[in-house]
Amino acid sequence: MPDIQLPDGSHRQFPEPLSGLALAQAIGSGLAKAAVAMRVNGRLKDLSTMLDQDAEVAIVTRESADGLEVIRHSAAHLMAQAVQSLYPEAQVTIGPVIANGFYYDFAFARGFTPEDLEAIEERMRALVKENLPVHRELLSREDAIALFEKMGEDYKVEIVRAIPEGESLSLYRQGDFVDLCRGPHVPSTGSLGAFKLQRVAGAYWRGDSRNPMLQRIYGTAWAQQKDLDAYLQQLAEVEKRDHRRIGTELDLFSIQEDAGGGLVFWHPSGARVRRVIEDFWRSAHVEAGYELLYTPHIAHEQLWFTSGHKDFYAESMFDPMQDEGQPYQLKPMNCPFHILIYKDKLHSYRDLPIRWAELGTVYRHEMSGALHGLMRVRGFTQDDAHVFCRPDQIEAEILGVLALVQKILGTFGFSQYEINLSTRPEHSVGSDEIWDAATQALRNALERAGLAYQVDEGGGAFYGPKIDLKIQDSIGRKWQCSTVQLDFNLPERFAMEYVAEDGARKVPIMVHRAIFGSIERFFGVLIEHYEGKFPLWLAPVQAVVLPISEHYAAYAISVSDALMKRGIRVETDLRNEKIGYKIRAQTLRRVPYLLVVGEREKAADTVAVRDRDGQDLGALTIDAVGIALQKMDRERSNTLEWQG
């Protein structure tokens, strides 16, 4: 009589062994309908698994994280079955679950086409309608080799041969399809349905360029059709907001391959936005008690041995350059430079905390295949800051950092965060005492700031605990930007000291801190967050004056000059085009305000104001427009207000 303990702590006893599906049915028909697998004593199992002993069992439903993984894994098998049904000569290799979906690699003589993907997806839907039962089988290693050799599945044979002799292997069958797999899987193909095949890419067998090139088909699968529809809609939004496309359309930046991949060229419009971002960043830091630093782009290679970067980070650093027989290294990080400034003189406990910030450009040797617009580059400017403090000051300093993070990110329109507190990993430096105190200080600061967080046990760096913050953009994506890391390692490596109150020499705590992460990546996030429609205070051009004909060009220029004197970033469109054409063109440029002038406006010393969404805001005096735009810019507001 198996005694089954359920997640709510209740127990169910049964007179004889039963399957996971039978357990779900005994609990409730709704649960059985939603079930796709179960956890038995913490391990994922098929619903067909027999429960013949006392156990803790949780039914896994299709909406849960575990359920989605089972669905996506099963959808991968469904796709492989459909491929081999249509193209029997195709060999299957591996097909794992990935974020939001799955893929399968195939060995096939020709390239899969978009038409092939449509046919494969149609066949998948036919297999769903057949509601084929999915069965798990155990085979010896030798029997599995014989099976796959008979099937002509050379890649599967290679996989099985790599498994130690004497082991049993699990296979899954659905209809005439069989594959090597640990599972679990849905009970039948009818449990699937909300899926979509997305694209084909090349992939080397086992990720090795010396091996044959395979074809990787990507797909996505969800618990329900509405979830799939929402995801596909988000993908459409992502494509529409792609910062690379918008960056080109608005002439913000470029990657010049003649100069090398991953190196960003800021065009005048993008540079204007960057200047506004940096000016705000600097003023916010000065107000928060930081001093601003500037440090070199290179340093003697020995510095990077002292810091440990040459031992632990060398693959991400460019090769040294030689000068007069001495090796110099492009900096991958700013921290050692700030430490050298700290060590330039002896500090007292009264000097601490010391807060230093720098917009410092660093260089990382990223693989060319990993480069991606502004999101992954080789040269970028970190909004770096370091705080040197005493152990008793950690909590207050972290609280100050969190306040500054919220102020700056909130100003840019980000108020939804995911926060993780990462604790001591297995391999680390520093005493238990300092780790415990530092981790508790981070925890206290988060709680005092009223910020919800999750604990990532063992996820800290080897040199100290940390807080990582992800911002949520306008379409729900999360971006890792801000990080706060305590460091017990570098102060020791560089023999940093301060004179304590009792005259003893002690080692300060070092706090690494970034809010944007990098200017480049954050700018890319901003472009996609706003779809290029920056709020007025960030817009490269805040207003454009549009004369309806060349007869009003002089008046348009006078309007532009008056606004420029108020500090407004304004342009005048003097092209010999119809006013409708110019309005459409400037709307596509996403300029916040369009100021149309003609005979009536010239006579009244006014402008006709439109916003980029097409709303007619009426006729305003030049002074009223200037005052309103100045106020919006100064207050970083999105509302145009003026005195009538």
CATH of the domain at 575: 3.40.50.800
SS (H, E, C) 358-377: EEEEEECCCCHHHCECCCEC
Q: Which domain holds residue 180?
A: 66-232
CATH code: domain of residue 70: 3.30.980.10
Strand-pair partners of 44: 39
In percent, the amount of the chain with pLDDT more than 90 equals 89
604 within domain boundaries = yes
CA distances from 495 to 131, 188, 309, 340, 385 (A): 68, 64, 16, 11, 20
204 within domain boundaries = yes
Q: Are residues 397 and 413 in the same domain?
A: yes
Confidence of residue 644 (pLDDT cuts 50, 70, 90): very low
Told to judge if 364 belongs to the known catalytic residues of this protein, a careful annotator would answer: yes
Residue 388: its pLDDT value, please? 97
**Which domain-ending residue is among 530, 564, 597?**
530
Q: Are residues 349 and 454 in the same domain?
A: yes
Q: pLDDT by residue (tens digit) across 215-271? A: 999 999 999 999 999 999 999 999 999 999 999 999 999 999 899 999 999 999 999
Contact 128, 192 (CB under 8 A): yes
Told to judge if 386 belongs to the known catalytic residues of this protein, a careful annotator would answer: yes
**Which domain-ending residue is among 487, 508, 530?**
530
Distance CA 294, CA 636 (A): 28
Catalytic residue among 81, 174, 329, 382: 382
Catalytic residue among 241, 364, 424, 513: 364
Would the annotation count 386 as a binding residue? yes
Average pLDDT over residues 347-371: 94
353: preceding bond cis by omega (within 30 degrees): yes
Confidence of residue 197 (pLDDT cuts 50, 70, 90): very high
Q: Token pair of 359, please?
A: 């917009």
Average pLDDT over residues 380-404: 95
Higher pLDDT, 99 or 83: 83
Phi, psi of 627 (to 5 degrees): -65, -45
Told to judge if 493 belongs to the known catalytic residues of this protein, a careful annotator would answer: no
Distance CA 394, CA 605 (A): 59
Which residue, 284, 519, 546, is CA-closest to 380?
Answer: 519
Q: Token pair of 385, please?
A: 């800051």
Task: Provide the H-helix boundaries in 35-64.
Answer: none
Told to judge if 466 belongs to the known catalytic residues of this protein, a careful annotator would answer: yes
Q: Are residues 490 and 574 in the same domain?
A: no
Confidence of residue 167 (pLDDT cuts 50, 70, 90): confident
Catalytic residue among 331, 355, 512, 521: 512
247 within domain boundaries = no
Say how many domains are in the chain.
4
Sheet strands (E) in 282-413:
291-292, 298-300, 321-323, 326-330, 347-348, 354-363, 379-389
Q: Are residues 219 and 126 in the same domain?
A: yes
Distance CA 377, CA 264 (A): 8
Confidence of residue 642 (pLDDT cuts 50, 70, 90): low
Q: Are residues 54 and 74 in the same domain?
A: no
Q: Is 634 exposed, middle or buried, given 0-12, 13-18 or 19+ CB atoms closer than 10 A?
A: exposed
219 within domain boundaries = yes
Catalytic residue among 338, 386, 569, 589: 386
Told to judge if 179 belongs to the known catalytic residues of this protein, a careful annotator would answer: no
Residue identified by tokens 């169910």 is: 12
Distance CA 486, CA 94 (A): 41
Told to judge if 512 belongs to the known catalytic residues of this protein, a careful annotator would answer: yes
Confidence of residue 463 (pLDDT cuts 50, 70, 90): confident
Residue 545: its pLDDT value, please? 98
Catalytic residue among 466, 513, 521, 529: 466
Told to judge if 335 belongs to the known catalytic residues of this protein, a careful annotator would answer: yes
Residue 643: its pLDDT value, please? 53
| Cα 347–chain centre separation | 39
Q: pLDDT by residue (tens digit) across 404-446? A: 999 999 999 999 999 999 999 988 888 888 899 889 999 999 9
Phi, psi of 195 (to 5 degrees): -140, 165
Residue 90: its pLDDT value, please? 95
Contact 179, 78 (CB under 8 A): no
Q: Are residues 279 and 312 in the same domain?
A: yes
| Pairing of the two strands 168-174 and 134-140 | antiparallel
Q: Are residues 309 and 427 in the same domain?
A: yes
| Pairing of the two strands 505-506 and 509-514 | unpaired
Distance CA 150, CA 165 (A): 20
Distance CA 221, CA 627 (A): 53
SS (H, E, C) 127-191: HHHHCCEEEEEEEEHHHHHHHHHHHCCHHHHHHHHCCCCCCEEEEEEECCEEEECCCCCCCEHHH
Contact 622, 642 (CB under 8 A): no
Q: What is the pTM of this model?
A: 0.85
Catalytic residue among 335, 485, 521, 633: 335
CATH code: domain of residue 13: 3.10.20.30
237 within domain boundaries = no
pLDDT at 331 over 70: yes
Q: Are residues 90 and 31 in the same domain?
A: no
pLDDT at 580 over 80: yes
Contact 385, 285 (CB under 8 A): yes
Task: Provide the H-helix boundaries in 417-518.
Answer: 432-448, 490-493
Q: Are residues 53 and 83 in the same domain?
A: no
pLDDT at 138 over 50: yes
**Which domain-ending residue is among 11, 28, 61?**
61
Strand-pair partners of 468: 420, 483
244 within domain boundaries = no
Distance CA 617, CA 129 (A): 56
241 within domain boundaries = no
Average pLDDT over residues 155-162: 92
CATH code: domain of residue 416: 3.30.930.10
Strand-pair partners of 326: 323
Q: pLDDT by residue (tens digit) across 527-538? A: 999 999 999 999
Q: Are residues 70 and 57 in the same domain?
A: no
641 within domain boundaries = no
Distance CA 326, CA 639 (A): 58
Catalytic residue among 384, 468, 473, 487: 384
Q: Are residues 462 and 603 in the same domain?
A: no
Long-range contacts at 457-462 (CB < 8 A, ≥ 24 apart): 457/423, 458/422, 458/423, 458/424, 458/425, 458/426, 459/420, 459/422, 459/423, 459/425, 460/422, 460/423, 460/424, 460/425, 460/428, 461/422, 461/425, 461/485, 461/487, 462/425, 462/427, 462/428, 462/429, 462/489
Q: Are residues 492 and 619 in the same domain?
A: no
